[in-house]
Structure 1
Amino acid sequence: MTKQPVSVNGVVRWRDVGQSENAAPATHAPKSVLLRHAIGEVLRDVRQRQARTLREVSHSARVSLGYLSEVERGQKEASSELLASICEALDITLSQMLREVSDRMAAEENFTVPDTVPAEFSDQFKREYGISATSSKDIPRDAGTYTAAR
């Protein structure tokens, strides 16, 4: 492959020549997701689902409207204190927001998060409390304390 000068509006640029038209484009590694972008997207989505304006949330969180806007657009890296304040203003916990960020980043990276409950514990729980039991809320109040080592 060779380079050939091409003039566009008086600016000379170099173009590759000799490459076949059917050549496959170069594959690039997947673009990594920046944490500040993912956090901003989640905060904006939560705010919009609540049908709230930037002004309302910035006032409740005691942060400037411009700064909140930059955080939502992923242009500013917010401190943990600021994120806690924004989450409180949005009436969500910091852990809920971070979980959503984690889930989105895992999806972008084509990473599947495994279930955190080992299958043997889940099976034992269902045997003891019924096949329809899916959480501790399904345990009868008089059933006592569930222990994994029975």
Structure 2
Amino acid sequence: MILFRHELGEALRDVRQDQGRTLRDVAASASVSLGYLSEIERGTKEASSELLGAVCDGLGVPLSELLGLVQRRVARVESMTAPVTLPVPAGPDEVSASAA
């Protein structure tokens, strides 16, 4: 099962690390507790829309951009977990029935 909070946390961490910033720096910029932001990045806490807005402001990234990153992550996970149908060879009973 895909958990939105895990994908959101990973996306936030990716953005932060791509900017070369520390968790402490972003937490201070967003006026969010360091521990809470850490839990959000690890996917152990759900983030409210207000908190996400503050973190995006702290990162200098529009919320829509962050949600786009999350959407792409979720789509990738869905494609990896989608059932794959493979051709199944006919069993012995089916071969003889079709030959008749």
Q: What is the TM-score normalised by the length of structure 1? A: 0.52
Aligned residue for 1:33? 2
Higher relative contact order (CA 8 A, sep 6+): 2
Where does the alignment leave 5 or more consecutive residues of structure 1 unmatched? 1-31, 112-150
Aligned residue for 2:19? 50
Aligned residue for 1:81? 50
In angstroms, what is the RMSD of aligned CA positions? 1.0
Q: 2:64 aligns with which of 88, 95, 99?
A: 95
Structure 1 CA distance for aligned equivalents of residues 22 and 69 of structure 2: 21
Percentage of identical aligned residues: 59
Structure 2 CA distance for aligned equivalents of residues 58 and 92 of structure 1: 14
Shift of 1:33: 1.3
Matched pairs, number: 80
Q: Please give the per-residue CA displacement for 1:80-134, whole angstroms capped at 9, x wherever unaligned.
A: 00000001111100000001100110111018xxxxxxxxxxxxxxxxxxxxxxx
Aligned residue for 1:109? 78
Q: Please give the per-residue CA displacement for 1:40-74, whole angstroms capped at 9, x wherever unaligned.
A: 00000000000000110000000000000000000
Structure 2 CA distance for aligned equivalents of residues 54 and 88 of structure 1: 14
| Structure with greater Cα Rg | 1
Q: Alignment partner of 2:54: what SS? A: helix
Task: Give the helix-richer structure, 1 or 2.
Answer: 2
Q: 2:38 aligns with which of 69, 79, 103?
A: 69
Aligned residue for 2:96? none
Shift >6 Å, 4+ stretches: none
Structure 2 CA distance for aligned equivalents of residues 64 and 75 of structure 1: 15
Structure 2 CA distance for aligned equivalents of residues 33 and 49 of structure 1: 24
Structure 1 CA distance for aligned equivalents of residues 72 and 22 of structure 2: 25
